[in-house]
Amino acid sequence: MEIIHEFIQVIFECFLRFITDDVDIGDSATRLQKISLLLGIIFLSCLFGWLTYKSSTLWNKKILNVPGYKGLSIFSFIVTLIFFSTFFSLNYLREVSIIQTEQWKDNLLKNKTWQEEIFRTTYDAVKQLGKEDFSQYPTPDKGGRIIPVNLESSRRTTAKIYVTQSIEQFKRSHPYLSLILKADLEIPEEKIYQDNVRFFKDNPNQIYKLENAIKIAVDELKNSLELRIPPLLKHQGYLFL
Number of structural domains in the chain? 2
Among residues 91, 122, 149, the one where a domain terminates is 91
Report residue 31's pLDDT band, with 50, 70 and 90 as the boundaries: low
Domain presence at residue 20: yes
- Using the predicted structure, report yes or no on whether residue 51 has a pLDDT greater than 90: no
Same domain membership, residue 9 and residue 84? yes
Among residues 91, 123, 149, the one where a domain terminates is 91
Same domain membership, residue 100 and residue 65? no
Domain presence at residue 62: yes
Please state which of the ranges 73-77, 196-200, 228-232 shows the lowest mean pLDDT: 228-232
Domain that holds residue 18: 2-91
**Mean confidence (pLDDT) of the chain:** 79
Domain presence at residue 21: yes
Domain presence at residue 234: no
Domain presence at residue 11: yes
Report residue 26's pLDDT band, with 50, 70 and 90 as the boundaries: low
pLDDT > 70: what percent of the chain? 82
Domain presence at residue 34: yes
Domain presence at residue 238: no
Same domain membership, residue 104 and residue 215? yes
> Could you report the per-residue pLDDT of 136-179, keeping only the tens digit for each?
888 888 888 888 888 889 888 988 898 888 888 998 999 988 88
Per-residue pLDDT, averaged over 216-227, amounts to: 85
User: Could you give the C-alpha distances from 11 to 38, 88, 96, 207, in angstroms and in order?
Assistant: 17, 11, 9, 40
Residue 232 dihedral angles phi and psi, to the nearest 5° = -80, -30
- pTM value surpassing 0.85: no
Same domain membership, residue 154 and residue 83? no
Same domain membership, residue 204 and residue 169? yes
Same domain membership, residue 131 and residue 20? no
What does the pLDDT read at residue 66?
Answer: 61
Report residue 236's pLDDT band, with 50, 70 and 90 as the boundaries: very low
Domain presence at residue 170: yes
Same domain membership, residue 141 and residue 24? no
Q: How many CA atoms lie within 13 A of 199 on its CB side?
A: 18
- Using the predicted structure, report yes or no on whether residue 232 has a pLDDT greater than 80: no
Q: Which residues of 80-119 are buried (b: 16+ CB within 10 A; e: fewer)?
A: bbeebbeebbbbbbbbbbbebbeebbeebbeeeebbeebb
Same domain membership, residue 42 and residue 21? yes
Please state which of the ranges 3-17, 34-48, 63-77 shows the lowest mean pLDDT: 63-77
Same domain membership, residue 99 and residue 83? no
Same domain membership, residue 113 and residue 62? no
Same domain membership, residue 86 and residue 120? no
Same domain membership, residue 57 and residue 160? no
Distance CA 172, CA 158 (A): 21
What does the pLDDT read at residue 125?
Answer: 93
Say if residues 104 and 10 touch (Cβ distance below 8 Å).
Answer: no
Among residues 91, 109, 140, the one where a domain terminates is 91
